[in-house]
Structure 1
Amino acid sequence: MERLSLSNSAFEGDNNTYLFADEREVTMIDTGDGMPGTREQLESAFAERGLTFADVDRIFLTHWHGDHTGLAGEIQSESGAEVYVHESDAPLVEDDEDAWAAMHDRQEQYFEEWGMPEAKREVLRERMAGSETSNATPTVTTFEGGETFSVGDRDLEVVHASGHAAGLSMFETTIDGEDAVFSGDALLPVYTPNVGGADVRVDHPLEKYLRALQRIVDADYDRAWPGHRDPIAEPAARAQHIIDHHEERSWRVLDALDRKGPCNTWTVSDDLFGDLESIHILHGPGESYAHLEHLERAGTVVREGDEYRLADGVADELAAADEERWELEY
């Protein structure tokens, strides 16, 4: 197995594609974004190994986002490779018009519910339209999680890890005697993957993402091979760090409601993240919504129309918690 790093202008850092090649088969996990220059980088990396796109037999996609799927159609058109993706993400990868229309409709619905200012909506619409590419669209074969695929001398077991995306999937395997996982964007070494905005189709996104992270903690892999940047030497510790991060963020959401009183999602997002630009206009309120929805179902927050407030008695609990923290720190 080899990790090929491909350029990516997004904040997560360079994309990874993973290559399994022997005399019997050439398999990939993810393909890069297909933006100008990326295809040339991947072709060059293949050529160094005596390969071309026509040699690829199978492609496994971790999820539908374009920075992971962009070249899948072009590679398939040259090789006839079979492209696998979770059934939840298949319509978007195959560029189904109805699926994209439903996605955009739901985004617009959330923009209204969140209270996103119209000027920010326009900036975001332009940003999302600008990220669309004219790359060839693959025909896909779906999986649902739990399947095992033989790749060379190893097995890949599919683990559905919804949250960041509805169909996001990881692939468990053994590499050089280590228990390893190809984590896609479920676990990244620097950034905490966005929940709530990155895929508005996901119901209860924070709950599902926390469940995926706990799966990583419990599995206690020796190494994770993420969708961006360098391998993660202690996946369980990194996953626990992100769980703790989300717990702290929930406290910050409650604190914002305590200080500001009943308010909408955009106001909470502004308190958490400040002024937002580019794709973060989607990610900030999306993450705020994911936490507000999670807290509402826990009974800590009450939703009234498009505004949220603390449930009765929660303000007193926050004050007591703050006092306890003060005693511990000082």
Structure 2
Amino acid sequence: MERLSLSNGAFEGNNNAYLFHDTGETVLIDTGDWMATTQAQLHEHLREYGVTFEDIDRIFLTHWHGDHVGLAGEIQAESGAEVHVHTADALLVEGDEDAWEDLHALQKSYFDDWGMPTEKQETLRDRMAGPDMSSEYPTVTSFEDGDTFSFDGFELGVVHVSGHAAGLCMFEFQTENGREVFSGDALLPIYTPNVGGADVRVDNPLEKYLRGLRRIVNSNYVRAWPGHREPIDEPADRAAYIIHHHEERAWRVLDTLRRQGACDTWTVSAELFGELNGIHILHGPGESYAHLEHLEQEGTVVRDGTEYRLADGIAEKLVELEDDRWPLPY
């Protein structure tokens, strides 16, 4: 298996595509985005191993985001490769117009509900348009959690870990050293994947993402191969760290509501992240919304229309505890 590093303009760092080519089928996991520079890089990487787009038999996609699926259609058009993705993301990957229109309408509804200013929504408009309509969309074959695929001496097992995206999946496999996993954006070595804004189709996104992280903690993987940057040698430790990170963020959300009083998601986002630009205009309030919703379900936060406030007695408890904390559902 070869890790192919592909540049992008995202803060998460270079994307990874993974190539299987030694025997039997030629397979890619993720393809990078649809930019011409990425396509040139992927061609160059593949040539190093004597592979062209025409040689690729199957593609497995971790989720629908453009920096992971962008070249799948181009490759399929040249090779006839089967493209596999989770059922929840299949229509978006295929470029289904109704699915994209529904997503955009849902995003607009959330942006208004969060209190996102109009000018910030306009800034996001180009980013939210989806893939360049001149690019190829693949025809996909969908899979579900627990499905398995065999090739090149490997058996890949699908692990559905919704949260960052509705159809986000990892692919686990066995090696002589133990079980390893292609973690996509479920587990990254430096940044924590955005939850709440990255895919507004996901109900209870933080709860589902935390469930996926706990699954990683309990799976005893010896290595994770992420969607961005370098491999992760202690996946359980990294997943546990991200769980703790979200608990710390929850306390910041509670403290914001203690100091600000009732306020909307955009105000909480400004307290947590400051002035937002670029894709962070989406990620900041999305992350804030995911935490506010999670805390509302736990009973420490109450929602009134588009505003959130601390539940009765919580402000006093926060002052009383000062640096001590009671367990949150994270």
* TM-score normalised by L of structure 2: 0.96
Alignment correspondent of 2:18: 18
- Separation in structure 2 between the aligned mates of residue 81 and residue 323 of structure 1, nearest angstrom: 56
**Match of 2:322, SS?**
helix
Deviations 1:286-312 (A, max 9, x none): 000000000001111000010000001
Contact 2:24–2:151 (CA under 8 A) maintained in structure 1 = no
Report 1:120-159 matches (<5 A).
120-129=120-129, 132=132, 134-159=134-159
Structure 1 residue 151: Cα displacement: 1.9
Contact 1:63–1:169 (CA under 8 A) maintained in structure 2 = yes
**Match of 2:324, SS?**
helix
Report 1:203-222 matches (<5 A).
203-222=203-222
Deviations 1:257-293 (A, max 9, x none): 0000000000000000000001110100000000000
Alignment correspondent of 2:9: 9
Supply the AA of the counterpart residue of 2:28.
M
Contact 1:16–1:32 (CA under 8 A) maintained in structure 2 = yes
Alignment correspondent of 1:287: 287
Structure 1 residue 189: Cα displacement: 0.3
**Match of 2:295, SS?**
helix
| Number of residue pairs aligned between Structure 1 and Structure 2 | 325
Structure 1 residue 36: Cα displacement: 1.9
List gaps (5 residues or longer) in structure 2: 326-330
Deviations 1:191-232 (A, max 9, x none): 000000000000000000000000000012100000000000
- Separation in structure 2 between the aligned mates of residue 324 and residue 120 of structure 1, nearest angstrom: 37
Structure 1 residue 131: Cα displacement: 6.3
Alignment correspondent of 1:328: none
List gaps (5 residues or longer) in structure 1: 326-330
Check if 1:198 corresponds to 2:195. Answer: no
Alignment correspondent of 2:223: 223
- Separation in structure 1 between the aligned mates of residue 59 and residue 293 of structure 2, nearest angstrom: 35
**Match of 2:45, SS?**
helix
Supply the AA of the counterpart residue of 1:163.
G
Alignment correspondent of 2:160: 160
Alignment correspondent of 2:109: 109
Report 1:1-330 matches (<5 A).
1-129=1-129, 132=132, 134-324=134-324
Contact 1:128–1:279 (CA under 8 A) maintained in structure 2 = no
Q: 1:78 to 1:320 in 2, by over 3 A?
A: same
**Match of 2:36, SS?**
coil
Q: Bigger CA drift: 7-16 or 176-185?
A: 176-185
**Match of 1:62, SS?**
coil
- Separation in structure 2 between the aligned mates of residue 246 and residue 317 of structure 1, nearest angstrom: 20
